[in-house]
Amino acid sequence: MQFGISTHLFHNHPLTEQHLREVKEHGFDRVELFATRGHFDYHSPAAIAELGRWLAATGVRLHSVHAPIVESLIGTRWGPAYSNATTDQRARQIAVQEAIATLEIARTTPYDYLVVHLGVPSSQASSGNDNDREQARRSVEQIHEAAQGLGVRLALEVIPNDLSTPDSLVQMIEEDLELPDVGICVDFGHAFLMGDVVDAIEVASGHLVTTHVHDNRGHADDHLAPFEGKIDWLLALMAVQKVGYEGTLLLELQSAEAPRTVLERAVTVRRRFEQILEGAWGPLTVDKQE
């Protein structure tokens, strides 16, 4: 099993080579780029070229890119959301084109997966028009067409809305789309908020290509380090093994504390995960922050 870190951890700062060096220094050699313009200007060829140089210099591999979900993200302040499932065609095309813009990275810096939210979380939807299934299907087809020849697979993420439950994503892939290479990103924290993590893994297993790994206490999308919330990680990782997933466990953690502090916790999480996956686990606890 491989382990990675999302640059979501650094999202309230412009991404730099030093951020990637910190990831590497803590033993992680792959990242997911969290694409917001304030964090990384994915519209800039110069910025994309610089990212390639940083990755080469640090020995970090770009595993995936998270397609843009908001216009801006400053600290904990989220800007207006992008919805690729809205019935407002102008707004939908803006969301689609922002996702397509991130595919340009792959022309010079290859990566495996573009992680895509379908619509917006139910808590953010102003009406049912934000999360229309037909519009979501059309958007996936557009983004998929743009990805052809770039070596990038789309991974539809489990998020808290009716479009993006594991069952709904499987149905879309198997019945609504004629795109056999589209997969699913199981987000453990989102799955826990929506019901059952083990069930989500098992339902998505036939299309599971990547993950987002974080914890919460069952009420909010906290993006805590595993073992700091209420997810049963023993059961979750046993389910991962049961379905035969051998890809990347990608930690998508909050930046409420200094990134180095969070990275140190991520090292502990990785060690505990490895113990569980190797069958040598002890008590499943780590120091929790009050």
The pair of structure tokens assigned to 234 is 């023993």
Q: What is the mean pLDDT of residues 240-261?
A: 94
Residue with tokens 């953010």: 124
Residue with tokens 């009406």: 127
Report the C-alpha gap between 54 and 129 in whole angstroms.
Answer: 41
- Per-residue pLDDT band for 282 (boundaries 50, 70, 90) equals very low
Q: What is the pLDDT of residue 289?
A: 39
Using the predicted structure, report yes or no on whether residue 266 has a pLDDT greater than 50.
yes
Please compute, for residue 106, the number of CA atoms within 13 A of its CA located in the half-sphere on the CB side.
24
Mean per-residue pLDDT over the chain, rounded: 93
Q: What is the pLDDT of residue 99?
A: 98
Rg, the chain, Cα only: 18
Q: What is the mean pLDDT of residues 67-89?
A: 87
Using the predicted structure, report yes or no on whether residue 112 has a pLDDT greater than 50.
yes
Using the predicted structure, report yes or no on whether residue 286 has a pLDDT greater than 70.
no
- Please state the domain extents for the chain: 2-277
More confident residue, 214 or 78: 214
Q: What is the pLDDT of residue 73?
A: 73
**Terminal-residue alpha carbon distance, the chain:** 31
Using the predicted structure, report yes or no on whether residue 270 has a pLDDT greater than 70.
yes
The pair of structure tokens assigned to 195 is 């019901």
Three-state DSSP state, 195: coil
The pair of structure tokens assigned to 82 is 């992008």
Where in 177-233 does DSSP place strands (E)?
183-187, 208-212
More confident residue, 283 or 187: 187
From the candidate CATH numbers 3.20.20.150, 1.20.1050.10, 3.40.640.10, 2.30.30.30, the one assigned to the domain spanning 2-277: 3.20.20.150
Q: What is the pLDDT of residue 281?
A: 52
Decide: 233 and 227 in contact? Cβ < 8 Å. yes
Q: What is the pLDDT of residue 76?
A: 64
Using the predicted structure, report yes or no on whether residue 157 has a pLDDT greater than 60.
yes
Q: What is the mean pLDDT of residues 144-152?
A: 97
Lowest pLDDT segment from 77-91, 96-110, 185-199: 77-91
Q: What is the pLDDT of residue 124?
A: 84
